[in-house]
Amino acid sequence: MQQNSLTTVESRIYATKDVKITHLKQGSTTYSKMSFPIHCGIYSEIETKEFIFQFNLNSEIFRAKGKGREWAHPHEWLKRTPGNDWVYYSTGGYTGVFEATGEYYLPNFQYPTNSILGGHPFAHEEITRISGSWYQFLLELQAQQTDLPRHFGNFLNQVITNSPEKLEQKAQLLHEIIGGRISVLPPDARHVDYNIIPLTISEGCLYKCAFCKVKNNTVFTEKSDAEIRAQISRLAKLYGRDLINYNSLFLGEHDALQSSPERILFSIETACKEFDFDHSYTAGTNVFLFGSVTSLLNKPDAFFRQLVESGAMTYINIGLESADQQTLDKIGKPLTERLVQEAFWRGQDINDRFPSVEITANFIMDENLPDNHYKKILHLIREQQVHVKPKGSIYFSPLTFDRPSRTRLFEFNRIKIQSRLPTYLYIIQRF
């Protein structure tokens, strides 16, 4: 992997009995799934007796944790997203979380989502104390550390300029550039811990399903090449020095695959070049997008061949929801089960033939769905599969929000055990 000149900059450390500042700490260069936290990228760190705060290359806080007894677990941490949400990563007892989500850490949010796992970490005083008062702690630290060496004093000054208000303004600018907050990211973005750069190449979706809580009223519309180019250039400026830590692109919004093949390929090529993913500190390049039954069935093989030639690993997540007509009708998805099943097999076919393209699929979970819903899914993911396959994840998305449920988890585990495809829960995360 080629690396940018920043990666050759050495870390510098300042340490006293009260504080340790590590400037330009070099983390892992690959995303890996481990039962202890391994953080990717280059970042800086301020550690006191009570806290650890981490900052990206724009000197903006993006991770924090407590060190005292009140902190739930030494492996757990808080992350601030570019959309300015604090997310708490909990171990959740490891085994249950890993089996259900494919990740060792469970993201917990401050907004309603469909997770059926986890507790309420933001009800814990120590967690809200850090997410709410980190800036005050840093101001106090700055007042105490009057004789910091210049290099570290400058770094602390930069950190202090990024106040909570300024970070919120930056998040608003990000949303303004991409045309609004992203209500949901694809589940596959978990492979890079949701560290994506979003680029809106189309808006809206085709079906406006009755059950869906993340849709908008926009009729499906593609952005022009000029609009996409302008977004890319504004995003590159916004991510600034921290761009080097990114290697992944999310093409929004809800059905980017419905865009023309030329527009999708143009967007990937232009963005990867402008964001200089070839020289990212983090190895590999990934592209994530959503597709629909219609957009998947309409894309010819030639398009997937071109995706492979782009050099990126492309994950396309398709909302199938159900392979049973009665269930599709009940949830208000205007499709036939025949078309859903055809899209499922088209995804399998692509996964078998295009090594750097992965089509993943979502099915819903809920109380009181017709019996045939689960039966017909199992027909596709077990009975019709000759072998166990490592590729083509199936995600189950609970329809209810903010209702952790042991019964749903039990139901999910029953299906997972029988599935011959990798099978996980889909936890809705916004950006």
Binding site for ligand SF4 (CB under 6 A): 205, 207-209, 212, 214-215, 254, 292, 319
Give me the least distance between CB of 325 and ligand SF4, in Å please: 16
Q: Please answer whether residues 20 and 155 qualify as being in contact, where contact means their C-beta atoms are separated by less than 8 angstroms.
A: no
Give me the least distance between CB of 428 and ligand SF4, in Å please: 11
List beta partners, residue 202: 222
* Residue placing its CB nearer to ligand SF4 in the complex, 2 or 217: 217
Give me the least distance between CB of 344 and ligand SF4, in Å please: 16
Give me the least distance between CB of 207 and ligand SF4, in Å please: 4
Give me the least distance between CB of 212 and ligand SF4, in Å please: 3
* Residue placing its CB nearer to ligand SF4 in the complex, 100 or 318: 318
Residues 131, 126: Cα–Cα separation, whole Å: 9
* Residue placing its CB nearer to ligand SF4 in the complex, 178 or 205: 205
Residues 62, 198: Cα–Cα separation, whole Å: 17
Q: Please answer whether residues 388 and 100 qualify as being in contact, where contact means their C-beta atoms are separated by less than 8 angstroms.
A: no
* Residue placing its CB nearer to ligand SF4 in the complex, 280 or 397: 397
* Residue placing its CB nearer to ligand SF4 in the complex, 137 or 211: 211
* Residue placing its CB nearer to ligand SF4 in the complex, 89 or 207: 207
* Residue placing its CB nearer to ligand SF4 in the complex, 209 or 238: 209
Structural tokens at position 128: 């809200």
Give me the least distance between CB of 254 and ligand SF4, in Å please: 4
* Residue placing its CB nearer to ligand SF4 in the complex, 295 or 348: 295
- Which letter, b or e, does each residue of 190-216 get, where b requires 16 or more Cβ atoms within 10 Å of its Cβ? bbbbbbbbbbbbbbbbbbbbeebeebe
* Residue placing its CB nearer to ligand SF4 in the complex, 6 or 206: 206
* Residue placing its CB nearer to ligand SF4 in the complex, 214 or 409: 214
Residues 404, 118: Cα–Cα separation, whole Å: 7
Q: At what angle do helices 301-309 and 261-274 cross, to 10 degrees?
A: 10
Give me the least distance between CB of 71 and ligand SF4, in Å please: 38
Phi and psi dihedrals of 57, rounded to 5? -75, -5
Residue 237 identity (one-letter amino acid): K
Q: Which residue's entry shows tokens 């808006």?
A: 203
Give me the least distance between CB of 44 and ligand SF4, in Å please: 38
Give me the least distance between CB of 392 and ligand SF4, in Å please: 19
Give me the least distance between CB of 216 and ligand SF4, in Å please: 8
Residues 424, 395: Cα–Cα separation, whole Å: 5
